[in-house]
Amino acid sequence: MYAVIETGGKQYQVNEGDEIFVEKLGQESGEVVFDKVVMIGGGDATQFGMPYVKGATVTGSLVKNGKAKKITVFTYKPKKGVKRKLGHRQPYSKVKIEAIKA
C-alpha cells in the first residue's frame, strides 16, 4: 500500500517504512500526521482525492531536523566591479512513515 501526500508545497509518494526528507516542520520530535493525502493506492483499489482523500491520514515519526549541504550563490555585473557571494543551507525534517490509514 502506498500514498501520495502533500507537505511543504510538494508531493511525495510514500510506503510504510520509508524515510523521507521534507521541508522543515515546526516541531522538534514526536509523531507527525499528514492529513493532506492526494491518493491512496495498492492492492485492487485506488482512491483519488478531489483535492484530498476524505478521512485518510499518514502517520510518521520525526527522526531529526537538519540542514542540507551548502550551495553557493555568486552574482556579478560585468565591467562594473560589482560582485556578491552568498551561501544557503536549506533546513529539512527527516520523517519515517509508520502507517497509512484510508
pLDDT in tens, 78-90: 999 999 999 999 9
CB distance 25 to 62 below 8 Å: yes
Say what the pTM is: 0.84
CA 45 – CA 90 distance, rounded (Å):
37
Residue 44: its pLDDT value, please?
83
Residue 54: its pLDDT value, please?
94
Q: Which of 47, 58, 67, 66 is nearest to 16 (CA)?
A: 58
Q: pLDDT-based confidence at 45, cuts 50/70/90?
A: confident
Residue 43: its pLDDT value, please?
77
